[in-house]
Each structure stands twice: as C-alpha cells, then as structure tokens.
C-alpha cells in the first residue's frame, strides 16, 4: 500500500515503515559517529522504549556500549491493510539493527502499568539477561489503569489555581493564537499524579527487585522537565509538574531501597524536544519552535539521541553531576542565559506574520513528521510498501 500522513491535531494516525526505519538508522548513525562509551551499562531495560526519549535510551547503550536491551512499550501492530504505529516500526528497525550486531534485543508490547507485564519482564530478564544494570523509565501516557484498584486514571495538562492565558501555535494552520486554559480541579491533579507520577516507577523497581533481576549496582532514571517561566503555568507549576514532584519524591524513596546494595536512582531533567508526548502540550510546540531557532544558530541543537548520548556518556559511566536537588541536568544548554534571553524577546514579538522568521516553525513541523517516518530523504513515499513488519515479541 501507499502510506501517506494523516494528521489529526497533534497526532499523525499513520506511520511509514521505511521512513521510521530510516529515522532509527539516522539515530544509530549519530551514536556510531561518536566515541564508544566506556563503562556503559551492559544490560538495559527501557520502559517506554519505542519512541522519543525511551527509544534513544535504547539506541545509545546498544550502539555506544554494546548493551543488551529489553524494551517495553504499548504500540499498535500492523495488519495487511493498516499501518502500525510509529513506535512499532521503530522497534522493529531497532531490533533488526541490534541483532545484526549480535546483541540481545527483545521487546514486550503491552500495558507497562499492569502487573502482568511486569511479571513477563522479570521472567524474560531471568531467562535471557540474568540481571539488568540499568532501568530507564520513560513512559508518557494519557491514562493508567491502576492494578491495585482497577480504576482508570487520566492525566491532563492544566494550570493550578488560576486561569492561564498564553500564546500557542495552531500547527495545522501555522497561526499564532491565544489559548486560555482553566485551572484543574483537585481530582484532575490527583489523577495526573496517578498516571505520570512515580507510583508505577516504584512498582517496577519493587517487582524487579523482588524478582532478583536487578544487578547490585543498578542505575535507574526517570525523565523530567523544567523549562522557562513562560511554560511554568502549564508545565512545572501545572498538573504535570505535580506529577514530576511526585516522581522526584519517588526517586528519593527508590534510592533508599537500592542504597543497601549499591544501586542508585536519578531524575534526569531533559530538554524540550519534539515527541508525540510534547506535541500534545499547549504552548510547548511554539516554545520549541523559538528555542530551536536559537539553539540551531548557536550550534547547540539537540534531539533525543544527542541528549541521551550525553546522559549515558557524561553521567552514567561515573558518579553523575547533579544540581542542588540531586537531579541530572541535560537541559543545561536549553536553559543557558543567552538562549532563554532570545526566547523571552522573541516570545514578546511572535505572531502569525513573523512565525517563520523568528522561530524555527518549519523545523518543528519537519521534526514532527519525522516522528512518523515522513519527510525523510531517500524514502520513496510514492512506492507501494508492505505495512507488515514483524517483531519477535516476548509473550
């Protein structure tokens, strides 16, 4: 079939298998262009491994450290007449490339919040890897079924306490608009913390620890974001920010649990990048467009793969350098004074008329399309392609 992009708001409902493969290959090529990472973790479990930061967290240890990797994700498989989701194609491409290097690379497709998937993961690690020395928790989800009470919780992206009015970009129309978001109710805050807070990360670490599959000196990390003041109402100080505070508190608890054996838990604060998750956050796509303009001009532009290469290369081989709250900060270049000064000034002026001049909106759009395997050089989108790509899943 010919597969074309079908965009619905902030999501593309189709994905291109060869395009996704090329996107994964580009990331592998980047990692290969960098030095190998000495003392890189060798047996890595990535929870949320099919797209964005989680995918990069699988590619980097595999191709810079010859690590065996087990990935957990929730993706739509293909059928004869319907393409799979991008994360499926990404994972198929990753596994093919990793296996060609003689590495162990297998995946589990299912609800990471469930006890069943945790049990399957523990059993697979026991059978194939023995123990893991690194666990990356990179889930981004709009909902979670809590295995303890069976209830479905939904996350939302809202301010707390006051109404938030800010500029945003309508990505379909390429227009700068104003968005008004009403504050979250207490129930919405609690539900967002249930989904995106640390409860599930801790349940994972407990399950892996009880199963005896954590190496004594295991390192585990979950990802967070801070960003500039202009996004704080909807991010850092909003519902998702409360979830990230819970993640940070959980990190401290996990550290206490792991300390006896020599294990460590970290929060890594990553930079804003275009992913399926970040595209859904109001205001953030416009902020990212402005940010990319300056970071590209300064030669410090990074996507997930460059960020995670720095995380593993600069922080996971020795004792990581951390901020006053104990967090790893690979958002350091994003938060540089000159970068944020540009963003603040451009933000004051930005409108539909100058969107393409003072921001890198076209770069944002290209990046978004690449998430789904579209707009990639060398891929012939006019030729029939077989949507079926298989993954040798652990079941």
Instruction: List the catalytic residues.
Output: 235
Angle ∠(19,20,22) on CA atoms, nearest 5: 65
Q: By C-alpha distance, which of 40, 112, 38 is closest to 75?
A: 112
Nearer to ligand NAD, 342 or 364 (CB): 364
For binding to ligand NAD (CB under 6 A), which residues are involved? 48-54, 72-75, 87, 111-113, 138-141, 223-225, 270, 272-273, 275-278
Distance CA 101, CA 104 (A): 9
Secondary structure (H, E, C), 29-82: HHHHHCCCCCCCCCEEEEECCCCHHHHHHHHHHHHHHCCEEEEEECCCCCECCE
Tell me the C-alpha distance between 210 and 326, whole Å.
26
Greatest Cα pair distance, the chain, in angstroms, is 59
Instruction: Give the nearer residue to ligand NAD in terms of CB position, either 113 or 372.
Output: 113
Taking the least distance from each CB to ligand NAD, the nearer of 108 and 379 is 108
> Which residue has the CB atom at the shortest distance from ligand NAD?
52
Taking the least distance from each CB to ligand NAD, the nearer of 148 and 259 is: 148
Q: Are 365 and 67 in contact (CB under 8 A)?
A: no
Q: How far is the CB of 263 from ligand NAD (least distance, A)?
A: 20
Shortest Cβ 275–ligand NAD spacing (Å)? 3
Give the nearest distance from C-beta 205 to ligand NAD in angstroms. Answer: 16
CA distances from 261 to 78, 129, 217 (A): 43, 19, 7
CB of 52 to ligand NAD, least distance (A): 2
Place of tokens 């104990």: 326
Q: Which helix (H) or strand (E) holds 263?
A: none
Q: Assess contact for 19 and 376: CB atoms under 8 A.
A: yes
Nearer to ligand NAD, 14 or 50 (CB): 50
For the CB of residue 27, give the shortest distance to ligand NAD in the complex, in Å.
Answer: 13
């Amino acid at each position: 079939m010919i597969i074309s992009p079908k965009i619905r708001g902030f999501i593309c409902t189709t994905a291109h298998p060869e395009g996704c493969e090329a996107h994964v290959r580009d990331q592998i090529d980047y990692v290969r262009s960098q030095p190998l990472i000495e003392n890189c973790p060798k047996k890595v479990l990535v929870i949320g491994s099919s797209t964005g930061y989680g995918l990069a967290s699988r590619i980097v240890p595999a191709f810079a450290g010859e690590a065996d990797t087990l990935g957990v994700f929730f993706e739509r498989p293909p059928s004869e007449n319907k393409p799979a989701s991008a994360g499926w194609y990404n994972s198929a491409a990753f596994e093919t490339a990793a296996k060609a290097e003689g590495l162990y690379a297998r995946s589990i497709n299912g609800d990471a919040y469930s006890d069943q998937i945790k049990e399957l993961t523990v059993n697979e690690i026991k059978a194939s890897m023995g123990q893991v020395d690194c666990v990356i928790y990179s889930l981004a989800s709009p909902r979670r079924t809590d295995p303890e009470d069976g209830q479905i919780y939904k996350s939302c992206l809202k301010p707390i306490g006051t109404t938030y009015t800010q500029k945003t970009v309508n990505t379909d129309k390429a227009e700068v608009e104003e968005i008004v978001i009403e504050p979250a109710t207490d129930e919405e805050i609690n539900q967002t913390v249930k989904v995106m807070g640390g409860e599930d990360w801790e349940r994972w670490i407990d399950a892996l620890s009880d199963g005896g599959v954590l190496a004594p000196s295991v390192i585990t990390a979950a990802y967070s974001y801070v960003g500039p003041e202009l996004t704080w109402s909807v991010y850092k100080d909003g519902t998702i920010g409360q979830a990230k505070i819970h993640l940070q508190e959980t990190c401290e608890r996990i550290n206490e649990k792991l300390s006896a054996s020599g294990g460590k838990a970290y929060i890594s604060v990553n930079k804003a990048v275009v992913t399926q998750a970040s595209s859904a956050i109001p205001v953030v796509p416009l902020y990212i467009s402005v940010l990319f303009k300056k970071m590209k001009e300064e030669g410090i532009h990074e996507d997930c793969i460059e960020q995670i290469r720095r995380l593993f290369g600069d922080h996971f081989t020795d004792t990581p350098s951390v901020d006053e709250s104990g967090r790893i900060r690979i958002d350091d270049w994003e938060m540089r004074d000159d970068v944020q000064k540009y963003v603040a000034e451009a933000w004051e002026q930005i409108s539909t008329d100058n969107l393409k001049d003072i921001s890198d909106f076209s770069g944002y759009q290209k990046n978004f399309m690449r998430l789904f395997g579209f707009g990639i050089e060398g891929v012939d989108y006019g030729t029939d392609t077989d949507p079926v790509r298989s993954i040798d899943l652990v079941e």
